[in-house]
Amino acid sequence: MNTITQRTERDRATRAAENGGLPTLGFESVTPYDEYVGTAALHRLQRTVTDAPEELTFLVTTQVMELYFGLLRTEWRLAQRQLDDDDAGAALATIRRTVLHFEALNAAWGPLGRLTPAQFNRFRDALGEASGFQSAAYRHVEFLLGLKSGTLIRPHRRNPAAYGELVEALSRPSLYDSVLAFLARSGYAVPREVTERDYTDEYRPSPEVEAVWVEVCRGPLEPLAEALADLAERFSDWRYRHLMAVRRSMGAKPGSGGSSGLAWLERSMRRDVFPEIWSARTLM
């Protein structure tokens, strides 16, 4: 339970004067920072299973990515609500913020992208069948980007909370669906079969939607198109860095989770998000 006592601007000015401008050094219990951030709980989560020095880097980086997946999920849901309220300005700000989240996510591949096969092999066997493919939060991110697949939620059937969230996400509109519905309400000629389709199916590109984006990019909503292009590009960067990290650390060996490994990631990269955002540029 959070027991942090709130402080006003006046409270902070008074404390700074009492301290002579120095930080407060005495507290009755743990520091407010530790309590707010939950540092003790966070640092207890790093439970390595080998003595390999590289494993801690692998584990911490993976946990950081999981936190960002959850953040993206929350942000894109917010953007969808803002679009549903026809608040394009607020949705644009939210989407742009998530582009910056990807800057941190992509940078996290740095240390993992330098693992040699010898270093990875020191702890890989100890991971058993654990695989990033099994991340429910990442799967939710893909669903929100429109990369839907009902078969990919099956690994989570024994986890009722995660499974329920993925079932719901599978049947709900993606962020792109919410954008297209907003454009339709704004007077753009988005076909009804696009806005009223079965959302459990993966999105299929439409020539009519392509024409809509050509029109959008010539008008006041162009910043929305560019923000989505930035987001798609950063997500593509993340997948590419993942692919290269795997190629560097294990080559074309089978994946830990039962997939073909590198070949599986290469197939996944061919699934585009926001496809007409890109194809429409050929027509401009």
What pLDDT sits at residue 1?
A: 57
What pLDDT sits at residue 2?
A: 62
- Residue pair 273/232 in contact (Cβ under 8 Å)? The answer is yes
Which two structure tokens, joined as six digits, stand for 91?
């949705």
What pLDDT sits at residue 70?
A: 97
Residues of the chain with pLDDT under 50: none
- Residue 8 belongs to a domain: no
What pLDDT sits at residue 131?
A: 81
Listed residue (220, 193, 198, 226) closest to 208, CA to CA: 193
DSSP codes joined into one string, 150-199:
GGGGGGGTT-HHHHHHHHHHHHS--HHHHHHHHHHHTT----HHHHTS-T
* Cα dihedral across residues 87, 233, 56, 155: positive or negative: positive
The C-alpha atoms of residue 276 and residue 279 are separated, in whole angstroms, by: 5
Q: Which long-range contacts (CB under 8 A, 24 or more apart) does 7-11 make?
A: none
Instruction: Tell me how many domains the chain contains.
Output: 1
Residue 274's CATH number? 1.20.58.480
- Residue 37 belongs to a domain: no
Structural domain of 214: 42-283
Does the annotation place 242 within a ligand binding site?
A: yes
What pLDDT sits at residue 258?
A: 65
- Residue pair 234/98 in contact (Cβ under 8 Å)? The answer is no
**Size of the chain, expressed as the number of residues it contains:** 284
- Residue 257 φ/ψ, nearest 5 degrees: -90, 10
- Residue 27 belongs to a domain: no
- Residue 239 belongs to a domain: yes
pLDDT tens digits, one per residue of 179-232: 999 999 999 999 999 999 999 988 899 999 999 999 999 999 999 999 999 999
Residue with tokens 């959850």: 70
- Residue 159 belongs to a domain: yes
- Residue pair 95/231 in contact (Cβ under 8 Å)? The answer is yes
What pLDDT sits at residue 213?
A: 98
Q: What is the 3-state secondary structure (H, E, C) of 37-92?
A: HCHHHHHHCCCCCCCCHHHHHHHHHHHHHHHHHHHHHHHHHHHHHHHHCCCHHHHH
- Residue 195 belongs to a domain: yes
The C-alpha atoms of residue 209 and residue 280 are separated, in whole angstroms, by: 9
- The single-letter code of the amino acid at 79 is A
| Model confidence pTM above 0.85 | yes
DSSP codes joined into one string, 211-272:
HHHHHHTTSTTHHHHHHHHHHHHHHHHHHHHHHHHHHHHHTTPPPTTSS-THHHHHHHHTS-
The C-alpha atoms of residue 200 and residue 256 are separated, in whole angstroms, by: 28
- Residue 10 belongs to a domain: no
- Residue pair 183/191 in contact (Cβ under 8 Å)? The answer is no
- Residue 118 belongs to a domain: yes
Does the annotation place 124 within a ligand binding site?
A: yes
